[in-house]
Structure 1
Amino acid sequence: MTIHASAPPRVRPSRSTRSQGQWAVDGREPLNANEEFKAADNGLNVRERIEQIYSRTGFDSIPTDDLHGRFRWWGLYTQRRPGIDGGRTAQLEPHELEDSYFMLRVRTDGAALTPEALRVLGDISTEFARGSADISDRQNIQYHWIRIEDVPEIWRRLESVGLETTTACGDTPRGFLGSPVAGVAADEIIDPTPVIAEIKRRFIGDPELTNLPRKFKTAITGHPSLDVVHEINDVSLVGVVHPELGPGYDLWVGGALSTTPRLAERLGVFVSEDRAAEVWHGVVRIFRDYGYRRLRNKARLKFLLAEWGTERFREVLETEYLGYALPDGPAPATPTTPGDHVGVHLQKDGRYYVGAAPTVGRVGGDTLVGLADLVERVGAESVRLTAFQKLVVLGVPADRVDELVAGLEPLGLTARPSLFRRSTMACTGIEFCKLAIVETKATAAAAIAELERRLVDVEPLLESPITLNVNGCPNSCARIQTADIGLKGQILTTDDGRQVPGFQVHLGGGLASSDRDEEAGLGRTVRGLKVTAEELPDYVERVVRRYAADRGAGEAFAAWAHRADEEDLT
């Protein structure tokens, strides 16, 4: 199939003299409908209406500004109505696409989930979500088929084990990515758990931070594997050791993907643990006060950073928001180990943590409850979710590791996955998402099964997994531009005129480097390179075999994809 494709657009600085809706420059008068509904009523206030009114009067009683707007401040989106094909996604209005059920997003913020918490999550899935539960690539649990009548009880159960949906969506500080091995890894630089806890305690749910220009994403890690994809978050704190000041954090700002991807940039400052929360607070307030609100598709922090540059951003942070200068600091070292933590690893206390892979993040109520039982049975401590749709069991006694590893398999989890099961991610897709054009989860799962069968001779020759990220639309929730093989869903026209689900192909993306060139980090596209969903296993097999045959000694797939001739990538 030879439909022309171009490279993904990059964020360019705005040179417009027109008002951008920056509060600190233009005042707070709303410039569009989205800003108007946010100004009319803080999104946090809708919780009381959900509990006292809508859960009793039902879906049809919910006014549109709450249903399509403020509900997001509590992690609720209406899900896609079944039976609407991808070709109609852009043709219908949101209310025509939606069902009377919700997706509910539960933020974990890198927290360790006890067996009790896992059971609560599992029971919610079974009782209220038709057995659904997905681990997202932002360490959230996402349910589907949620009725508004059940939301207050779900909140009560979540909060009984320290979990919440507060600002899990909306123009807010959304769920944090935290290192899944915080506090236990033998090679950890600094434990980010206290910083995450302080930021949450002081600022999550603060009405002063719940009217941002758009969503605001945070990542914090102290592990040298750089396991929180810090380059694509609005703000990230990355563990480093200052030669004079000791362990602390390197500050990155302005990363995001979607249709105009941009990697974050270092400000070059060192942030000590005791200042980390207030530095985070300073960055989010810069976004609140100076972010562009006039056009929603230009409202992420990356656009402000593209306009200002890192030198001005640092100056404004230090002079207007902190009141002191931050010391210069070192960059993190390039990681030498994977950040997904799959497999068996020794902890600093002599016990082990074990990373396990579900298939493209799908778990479900039975799996979560079964995992809780297994964790208790072997005497482990807890479970954390990862930024790669995986999970990590923490605190496993040395003499029970084999029992745990064996016990994961019947649950649909594995600590010894194939390369493609380990490295494939998929967004929600057309099954539930109103923005999606194609199916993703089942397509990716079927591709994994085929590739495991077809590439059994090649897999032992590969030193590292080849990441395969499957996305149902251009918005890149599954991080397609940063994968070895990234697939952006769209409807394709075959040679005989049929319209079928398919993907535009991105190749050679990659993250987790302190000095990665942006073009390399975001991969490349090849003119005309698109594949149908049906052709997907054939294409991946073909390009992986070419890589295996043509690569140099120790050459990663991303490096090969950037130097390979276009005909070798088709």
Structure 2
Amino acid sequence: MYRYDEFDAAFVKERTAQFSDQVARRLTGELNEDQFRPLRLMNGLYLQLHAYMLRIAVPYGTMSSKQLRMLARIARDYDRGYGHFTTRQNIQFNWPKLRDIPKILADLASVEMHAIQTSGNCIRNITTDQFAGATADEIIDPRPVAEILRQWSSLHPEFSYLPRKFKIAMTGSTNDRAAIRFHDIGLQAATKALGEIGWEVWVGGGLGRTPMIGKQISPFVPHEDLLAYLESILRVYNRYGRRDNKYKARIKILVHETGIDTIREQVEEEFAHVKGGVLTLPQQELDRITKYFAQPDYELVNETTVDVAKEKILNPPYGRWLERNLNAHRQPGYVSVTISLKPTGGAPGDATDKQMEVVADLAERYSFDELRVSHEQNLVLPHVRITDLPAVYAALVEHELAEGNAGQITDIICCPGLDFCALANARSIPLAQELSRKFASPERQAEIGDLKIKISGCINACGHHHVGHIGILGVEKKGTELYQITVGGDATENAAIGNILGHGFVVEEVPAAIERLVDLYISKRVSADEPFIAAYRRLGDAPFKEALYGNA
């Protein structure tokens, strides 16, 4: 895991001191809210419906137990005893007092964390696969390169005031668990015939009011040229991206209106000027950063498999947890464990201070002091011995963290919605809670299988509803909260944007509407092994639309 060097420590300390002075001037009235707004946004501080919200960066989703314990302490001392993990692999605190923000930032700096560039028209937190460096299907651990990109993008003078916010995601696997095709830039590890590893580059993806799937701009960029190539993309965007209309300011609009071929030509022209210059990444620097992400000292163990079928008979809840919440590891005898933050009736992504401390303890004891935040709003212990699974599970059960539902219908992605967000049109958390209760039966979830529901409280799509197998979008019409339902979205390498099937429903009608879609799927699938998304692609919109609306 990366540790701050002298530059990191100095610039975080200086920024904390600078913002502390700005907060003091706001509290005394020397700065009004209009003057303070751009300053606070540069430091991850939003003004929401009821209070300030502080968003803290978790670079590439990786944390230590010490860092998670600090987040738990901040939740307890400065908030209301919980934090909210987001789809950007960050954490948000919804109730801090403005006067406490300097103390919170100082506490964060003490454990090498900050809130810089979690807001504003800059390059945001770079996200990766939550199983990076551990998963068995990985070409390369993307986190060393993600760390280099973090250093390159932090306080970059040319890209601090882009036309709009800018998001980068990357994966080292052929199986995309980072939704790279729905980011401004997406990076996927690629190999050449002789085994050289580099990066496939996608550009112009995004959700929001104009969802678009990114387009491949280059099939292969070597490690040493990646910074220069990305800088070339950012320069083209900074030069031609629209600044007159924030709804058309993202790079996806530039790519769409200009065309990927023209954008590629502009980027290649820029790249020709900078390639081979100061942005060339020396192999020794890549090697230096990579050492921070060296594999843990795994033990050679005899027990390398889990008899899930046996455990499902002996202890059904434990067996279900094993079946759903484990991911295959590159090291025999180990697995990665998903800790679901989606208990029945709970707010998706929320964790209490006590739960955070429990997960920190488990990471320290059973996962080489390392944990991850997933973009699906769960936590992950990346390196757990199979022989330690009973102990880990027992601790999770004690603290209501042992829901065995990863990837199932109750593993819902959900934005804060109108309960917190000033931009929202509708509530999303209460609907997620009701759906969680409706489909809580383990037997029912097992019958349904893999199915991703994603809920957004407004068109900004923080809940990624466009790419849910079933997506739900809250809208407001004549003072009434309505919910549009989309079907067929997919955030993986088989990227797809869901289709709106018809008019919206009032909130009381949504759970039954979702159940009709599920029942239709079960009745039409060719076998119990055909997932919802595969059945939808085979059947098309018509039967699902009829299930929702009848013959109307």
Q: Structures share a fold, TM > 0.5? A: yes
**What displacement does 1:111 show?**
4.3
**What displacement does 1:467 show?**
1.2
**What displacement does 1:347 show?**
2.6
Match of 2:340 in 1: 357
1:128-207 equivalence runs, <5 A: 128-207=78-157
2:326 corresponds, among 344, 348, 351, to 344
**What displacement does 1:413 show?**
2.2
Q: Give a deviation string over 1:367-419, Cα, whole Å, max 9, x none.
A: 11121123234364311111111111022233212211222233332362276
Match of 1:313 in 2: 263
Match of 1:329 in 2: none
For residues 532 and 181 of structure 1, what CA distance do their matches in structure 2 show?
A: 38
For residues 63 and 471 of structure 1, what CA distance do their matches in structure 2 show?
A: 32
1:157-556 equivalence runs, <5 A: 157-244=107-194, 246-323=196-273, 343-350=325-332, 351-359=334-342, 360-378=348-366, 380-414=368-402, 416-417=404-405, 420=408, 423-453=411-441, 458-462=444-448, 464-491=449-476, 500-513=480-493, 516=495, 521-528=496-503, 530-553=504-527, 555-556=530-531
Preserved CA contact (<8 Å) 2:409 2:452: no
**Larger deviation, residues 213-222 vs 378-387:** 378-387
For residues 373 and 37 of structure 2, what CA distance do their matches in structure 1 show?
A: 28
Preserved CA contact (<8 Å) 2:411 2:452: yes
For residues 219 and 267 of structure 1, what CA distance do their matches in structure 2 show?
A: 15
Match of 2:296 in 1: none
Q: Relative to structure 1, is the Cα distance of residues 46 and 534 closer, same or farther in structure 2, using a 3 angstrom cutoff?
A: farther
Preserved CA contact (<8 Å) 2:25 2:31: no
**What displacement does 1:421 show?**
5.6
Q: Give a deviation string over 1:272-308, Cα, whole Å, max 9, x none.
A: 2222233222222222122111111110001110122
Q: Match for 1:568: what amino acid?
A: A
Equivalences, count? 480
Preserved CA contact (<8 Å) 1:232 1:255: yes
Runs of 4+ with deviation above 4 angstroms: 44-49, 418-422
Match of 1:94 in 2: none
**Larger deviation, residues 341-350 vs 172-181:** 341-350
Residue aligned with 1:393, SS: strand
**What displacement does 1:428 show?**
0.9
**What displacement does 1:49 show?**
5.2
Preserved CA contact (<8 Å) 1:106 1:168: yes
Preserved CA contact (<8 Å) 1:134 1:143: yes
Match of 1:92 in 2: none
Q: Relative to structure 1, is the Cα distance of residues 45 and 70 closer, same or farther in structure 2, using a 3 angstrom cutoff?
A: farther
Q: Give a deviation string over 1:546-569, Cα, whole Å, max 9, x none.
A: 110012345442354434332123
**What displacement does 1:427 show?**
0.2
Preserved CA contact (<8 Å) 1:213 1:288: yes
Residue aligned with 2:488, SS: strand
Q: Give a deviation string over 1:114-137, Cα, whole Å, max 9, x none.
A: 110110111111111111311101
Indicate the structure with greater helix content: 2
Residue aligned with 1:205, SS: coil
1:104-115 equivalence runs, <5 A: 104-115=54-65
Preserved CA contact (<8 Å) 2:412 2:453: yes
Q: Which has the higher contact order (CA 8 A, sep 6+)?
A: 1
**What displacement does 1:61 show?**
4.8
Q: Give a deviation string over 1:204-240, Cα, whole Å, max 9, x none.
A: 1222211100000000110222111011100011112
Q: Match for 1:171: what amino acid?
A: N
Q: Give a deviation string over 1:69-102, Cα, whole Å, max 9, x none.
A: 3321111110103xxxxxxxxxxxxxxxxxxx31
Q: Relative to structure 1, is the Cα distance of residues 59 and 389 closer, same or farther in structure 2, using a 3 angstrom cutoff?
A: farther
**What displacement does 1:62 show?**
3.6
Preserved CA contact (<8 Å) 1:344 1:415: no
TM-score normalised by length of structure 1 = 0.79
Q: Give a deviation string over 1:520-553, Cα, whole Å, max 9, x none.
A: x11111232x222222221111210111001234
Match of 1:73 in 2: 42
Unaligned runs of 5+ in 1: 1-43, 82-100, 327-340, 494-498
Q: Relative to structure 1, is the Cα distance of residues 106 and 306 closer, same or farther in structure 2, using a 3 angstrom cutoff?
A: same
**Larger deviation, residues 543-552 vs 281-290:** 281-290
Residue aligned with 1:534, SS: helix
For residues 419 and 242 of structure 1, what CA distance do their matches in structure 2 show?
A: 32
**What displacement does 1:259 show?**
0.8
**What displacement does 1:480 show?**
1.0
Q: CA RMSD in A?
A: 2.5
**What displacement does 1:325 show?**
8.3
For residues 195 and 418 of structure 1, what CA distance do their matches in structure 2 show?
A: 28
Q: Match for 2:402: what amino acid?
A: T
For residues 102 and 260 of structure 2, what CA distance do their matches in structure 1 show?
A: 44
Q: Match for 2:62: what amino acid?
A: A
Match of 2:547 in 1: 568
